[in-house]
Amino acid sequence: MTLSQLPLLVLVGLTLTTMLTLMSGCEKSLTQEDRPVAIADEQPNPQTAPAAQEDTGLEVVTLGSGCFWCTEAFFRELKGVKSAVSGYSGGEVPNPTYKAVCTGSTGHAEVIQVTFDPKQIPFTDILKAFWETHDPTTLNRQGADVGTQYRSAIFYHNETQKAEATAYKEQLDASGQFKSPIVTEITAFEKFYPAEDYHQDYFKLNPDQQYCRYVIRPKLEKFRSKFADKLKQEDSGEK
């Protein structure tokens, strides 16, 4: 049977299914084709200390602002950011899997752990990119993604980060930039569990996946326009 021979109601149903998939965010857009069976149950290993060594001069901060497929794509492009790793923080259950985190029962947030060079990008620029690439006024929700795993959170790695994040949050609230109060939690970092391999660098490796094409790409283009002077240059060799 050809496509033209399918009943109209079937075609409409397929279209609605596609739309709902895109609207429902990361969890439901991850189909069996997107999730390699060989690693679907892989458990990440925890990191209880910053990945950067003190003698390198690099810093680490762990940020939660909704689906990590989006936030990883943003931060990887910032000049001075050495790595952005998708994972889970802020929960009680050790070695959580993506499937478990998506239930909201582990207490973890989807996060990215950002390693950056403060000589190239100050922490305040990291905070600016963080707060301007998601809605920090919606509790446990980002768009169609609902649950504590999508909460807005900063897991600080030292007292200086705590002070700067708190001050920045207070300034934003006072400025009226957002119509509602900011609900971002600012909490001391404890453990970070890197997400399963298939989540890492997701947008770059899956550019034609529907969620990447219709959700991440428009957001990334807006990010590139807004932070044009903060992005890595293609000919600089920085990755």
Q: Under a CB-based contact definition with an 8 Å cutoff, are residues 46 and 94 in contact?
A: yes
Q: Which of 50-64, 91-105, 155-169 has the lowest mean pLDDT?
A: 50-64
The Cα–Cα gap between 41 and 97 comes to 7
What does the alpha-carbon distance between residue 107 and residue 150 come to, in Å, rounded to a whole number?
A: 10
Catalytic residue among 67, 70, 102, 212: 67
In sign, the C-alpha dihedral spanning 44, 68, 132, 79 is positive
Q: What is the pLDDT of residues 36-80, one digit of tens each?
A: 333 334 555 566 544 554 568 999 999 999 999 999 999 999 999
Q: What is the CATH number of domain 48-232?
A: 3.30.1060.10
Catalytic site includes residue 67? yes
Domain ranges of the chain: 48-232
Q: What is the dihedral of CA 106, 111, 116, 118, to 10 degrees?
A: -90
Tell me: the pLDDT tens digits for 77-93? 999 999 999 999 999 99
Token pair for 64 = 């939660």
- Percent of the chain with pLDDT strictly greater than 90: 73
Q: Is the pTM of this model over 0.85?
A: no
CA-based nearest residue to 172, from 139, 132, 210, 140: 132
